[in-house]
């Protein structure tokens, strides 16, 4: 009898555990669902929209396999990627593709061909439009958790049909509350059985010890006598139970009624008018994409620098940023000690401002801080993508001014509008800024626009006083002249949160040095000698410098000055003066 409770606990635990395991493994729905489809047709791409996959579940695992058409034993190259639906469709363009849909009732995958006029497409591997991508040969698998605006892309090398065999495994969220509860209860009763068994064993040992000592246990006490309960008369004592319950119920009903009588009069609430909510355009790039793009750009530039290849650099640079590299490569082939190449630091992105658009071309502004080297200036970049099938290229690079204050800008999730270069919403257009700032560099405080711009370090380095000091060195031997013009690079204007703008533009400064006396010659050296190809000239030498400038321009009507946020410059060409 001492172990009857332990046996009962163990029996209940066994029943609960067996029931929980049976319900969990024998009677519950499976936690995954698998479908395989063999795609017919010669389309180079297969697309699966996220909303089609969501007909079964929100978490998917996709496996793609395929072989070459010429030999089924040779594995074919496979690219599996996903991105924003609008971007994926734009990249596919006019090429035919297979669209996979899911029957919501049978969960069967159905393939249909969307016609197109392009029989071949570029290799999708390495495109900047993808959030993630996986490549391989023969078979590629990946796990996804997509939003309703995403699309999965499956392709080969672009010149061959897309892989045919596609297997999709959906993870099903099955409610296992009942079997889990039974298993927990079974474990609880098992613990209770162990405790009951331990107590029984302890009591058994106590009884044995008492018997060995020769003592008898105390006799049980008899029942105590209790006086009979008095009957209550009509004049006093406790009230009958039913009467007390009725009075308590009456109080419960009366209190809310009394409080309701004291409540203030109901105040009519205003009804908001219905408003039409429109979706804002998506941002050009996500933070995850930007990290992939910067890593790819850094790797490409490292490859280009190792071989001084203009062709490789051109795949990731454009505008003055490319001209800087090309000129440096020409110089480094002759004397590498004269060149210091711009590099993107492997550091954290402190600011990311993508353009708010779903069209092309699109631009991105970012600031990268090298936290490992406090003396290194923060770097600002402007990236542009001309079309869906082209990758982002660096069009502007800047070293930010010391202690610069960046204006308030929208978040990376919301993005900013890119304004036209000749917008009349700002205090000056890009062309006006280039003309006016160039005049300040030439004339300093005597310029009519000196009050328009705040002081900066670039004016100290190449402004009117620096130019005068340079001319003073060769006074009587050479005559200097400078011309500031706006380069052909397209200015880019990002709208800031205070109705101002962040403006990136390029100006070209042409410095001409001519001999002061007839018959004298100008001798060149260093990078100018290499780029001009002339060690000396009787006519003189013209050196062209490109200045990439980043300004903050306040809104029109503001009394605030235009501020230079950052800059970079380099010698890009040189030749004999005309």
| Each residue's pLDDT tens digit, 499-534 | 999 999 999 999 999 998 888 999 999 999 999 999
For the purposes of burial, counting CB atoms within 10 Å of the CB of 57, is it exposed (0-12), middle (13-18) or buried (19 or more)? middle
Spatial strand order of the sheet with 150-155 comes to 109-114, 97-102, 45-49, 150-155, 77-84, 132-137
Which one, of 87, 549, 128, 574, lies nearest residue 319 by Cα?
549
The per-residue pLDDT for 186 is 75
Q: Please name every residue paired with 576 in a beta bridge, in sequence order, or none if there are none.
A: 541
CA distance 568 to 328: 14
Q: Which structure tokens are listed for 514?
A: 């001519």
> Across 8-22, 58-72, 243-257, 466-480, which has the greatest mean pLDDT?
466-480
Model confidence pLDDT, tens digit, residues 360-416:
999 999 999 877 777 788 999 999 999 999 999 999 999 999 989 999 999 999 999
> Across 160-169, 204-213, 242-251, which has the greatest mean pLDDT?
160-169
At residue 262, does pLDDT exceed 60?
no
The mean pLDDT of 33-60, rounded to a whole number, is 85
State what percent of residues in the chain have pLDDT above 70: 83
Which residue has 């009456």 as its token pair? 250
The per-residue pLDDT for 278 is 54
At residue 276, does pLDDT exceed 50?
no
The mean pLDDT of 426-452, rounded to a whole number, is 96
Which residue has 């304004």 as its token pair? 419
Report the Cα–Cα distance between both ends of the chain, in Å, rounded.
119
Which is more confident, 336 or 376? Answer: 336
pLDDT-based confidence at residue 267 (cuts at 50, 70, 90): very low
Mean of all residue pLDDT scores within the chain: 84
State what percent of residues in the chain have pLDDT above 90: 55
The per-residue pLDDT for 531 is 96
User: Three-class SS of residue 307?
Assistant: helix
Q: Which structure tokens are listed for 21?
A: 């395991």
At residue 354, does pLDDT exceed 80?
yes
Q: Answer whether 142's CB lies under 8 Å from 61's CB.
A: yes
Q: What is the pTM of this model?
A: 0.78
The per-residue pLDDT for 176 is 66
The number of beta carbons lying within 10 Å of the beta carbon of residue 86 is 16
pLDDT-based confidence at residue 24 (cuts at 50, 70, 90): low
The per-residue pLDDT for 217 is 55
At residue 166, does pLDDT exceed 80?
yes
Distance set, CA 170 to CA 134, 210, 379 (Å)? 19, 67, 44
The DSSP result for 492-554, as a single string, is EEEEPTTS-EEEEEEEEEEEEEEESSTT--EE--HHHHHHH--SEESS-EEEEEEEEEEEEEP
At residue 185, does pLDDT exceed 70?
yes
Q: Please name every residue paired with 150 in a beta bridge, in sequence order, or none if there are none.
A: 84
Which range, of 66-70, 257-261, 332-336, 343-347, averages the lowest pLDDT? 257-261
The per-residue pLDDT for 1 is 54
> Across 60-64, 186-190, 261-265, which has the greatest mean pLDDT?
60-64
Which one, of 523, 484, 508, lies nearest residue 572 by Cα?
508
The mean pLDDT of 285-298, rounded to a whole number, is 94
The mean pLDDT of 76-97, rounded to a whole number, is 93
Distance set, CA 245 to CA 230, 241, 248 (Å)? 22, 6, 5
The per-residue pLDDT for 79 is 93
Which range, of 175-189, 235-249, 255-269, averages the lowest pLDDT? 255-269
CA distance 219 to 32: 67
At residue 26, does pLDDT exceed 80?
no
Distance set, CA 440 to CA 437, 444, 486, 556 (Å)? 5, 5, 14, 21
Q: Answer whether 186's CB lies under 8 Å from 14's CB.
A: yes
At residue 253, does pLDDT exceed 50?
no
The per-residue pLDDT for 478 is 92
The mean pLDDT of 557-563, rounded to a whole number, is 96
pLDDT-based confidence at residue 272 (cuts at 50, 70, 90): very low
The per-residue pLDDT for 115 is 92
**Exposure b/e, 504-514, CB count within 10 A at least 16 = b:** bbbbbbebbbb
Q: Answer whether 133's CB lies under 8 Å from 158's CB.
A: no
Which is more confident, 33 or 143? Answer: 143
The per-residue pLDDT for 264 is 44
At residue 27, does pLDDT exceed 80?
no
Which one, of 416, 387, 381, lies nearest residue 297 by Cα?
381
Q: Please name every residue paired with 81 in a beta bridge, in sequence order, or none if there are none.
A: 133, 153
The per-residue pLDDT for 172 is 63
Which range, of 177-191, 239-253, 340-354, 422-436, averages the lowest pLDDT? 239-253
Which range, of 60-69, 431-440, 532-541, averages the lowest pLDDT? 60-69
């Amino acid at each position: 009898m001492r172990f009857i409770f332990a046996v009962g606990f163990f029996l209940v635990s066994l029943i609960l555990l067996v029931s929980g395991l049976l319900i969990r493994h024998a009677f519950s729905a499976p936690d995954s669902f698998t479908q395989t489809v063999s795609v017919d047709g010669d389309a180079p791409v297969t697309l699966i929209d996220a909303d089609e996959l969501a007909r079964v579940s929100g978490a998917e695992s996709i496996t793609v396999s395929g072989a070459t058409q010429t030999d089924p034993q040779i594995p074919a190259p496979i690219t599996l990627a996903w991105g924003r639906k609008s971007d994926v469709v734009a990249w596919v363009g006019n090429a035919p593709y297979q669209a996979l849909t899911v029957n919501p009732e049978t969960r069967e995958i159905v393939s249909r061909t969307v016609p197109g006029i392009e029989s071949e497409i570029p290799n999708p591997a390495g495109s900047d439009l993808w959030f993630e991508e996986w490549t391989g040969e023969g078979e590629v698998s990946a796990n996804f958790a997509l939003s309703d605006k995403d699309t999965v892309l499956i392709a080969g090398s672009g010149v061959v049909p897309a892989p045919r065999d596609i297997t999709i495994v959906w993870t099903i969220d099955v409610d296992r509350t009942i079997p889990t509860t039974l298993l927990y209860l079974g474990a609880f009763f098992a613990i209770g059985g162990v405790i009951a068994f331990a107590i029984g064993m302890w009591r058994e040992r106590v009884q044995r010890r008492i018997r060995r000592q020769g003592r008898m246990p105390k006799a049980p006490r008899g029942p105590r006598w209790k006086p009979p309960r008095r009957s209550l008369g009509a004049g006093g004592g406790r009230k009958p139970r039913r009467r007390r319950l009725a009075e308590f119920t009456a109080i419960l009903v009366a209190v809310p009624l009394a409080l309701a009588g004291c409540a203030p009069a109901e105040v009519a609430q205003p009804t908001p008018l219905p408003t039409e909510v429109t979706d804002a355009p998506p941002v050009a790039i996500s933070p995850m994409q930007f990290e992939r793009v910067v890593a790819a750009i850094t790797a490409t530039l490292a490859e280009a620098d190792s071989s001084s290849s203009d062709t490789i650099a051109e795949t990731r640079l454009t505008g003055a940023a490319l001209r800087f590299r090309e000129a440096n490569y020409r110089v480094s082939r002759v004397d590498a000690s004269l060149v210091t190449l711009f590099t993107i630091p492997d550091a954290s992105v402190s600011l990311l401002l993508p353009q708010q658009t779903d069209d092309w071309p699109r631009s991105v502004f970012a600031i990268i801080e090298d936290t490992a080297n406090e003396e290194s200036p923060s770097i600002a970049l402007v990236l542009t993508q001309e079309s869906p099938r082209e990758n982002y290229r660096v069009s502007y690079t800047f070293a930010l001014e010391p202690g610069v204050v960046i204006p308030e800008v929208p978040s990376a999730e919301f993005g900013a509008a890119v304004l036209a270069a000749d917008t009349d919403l700002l205090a000056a257009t890009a062309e006006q800024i280039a003309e006016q700032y160039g005049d300040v560099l030439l004339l300093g405080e005597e310029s009519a626009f000196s009050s328009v711009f705040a002081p900066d370090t670039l004016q100290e380095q190449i402004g009117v006083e620096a130019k005068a000091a340079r001319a003073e060195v060769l006074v009587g031997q050479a005559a200097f002249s400078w011309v500031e013009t706006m380069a052909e690079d397209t200015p880019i204007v990002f709208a800031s949160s205070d109705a101002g703008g962040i403006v990136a533009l390029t100006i070209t400064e042409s410095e001409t040095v001519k001999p002061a006396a007839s018959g004298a010659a100008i001798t060149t050296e260093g990078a100018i000698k290499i780029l001009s190809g002339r060690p000396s000239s009787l006519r003189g030498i013209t050196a062209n410098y490109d200045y990439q400038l980043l300004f903050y321009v306040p809104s029109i009507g503001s009394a605030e000055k235009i501020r230079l946020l950052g800059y970079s410059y380099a010698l890009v060409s040189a030749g004999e003066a005309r």
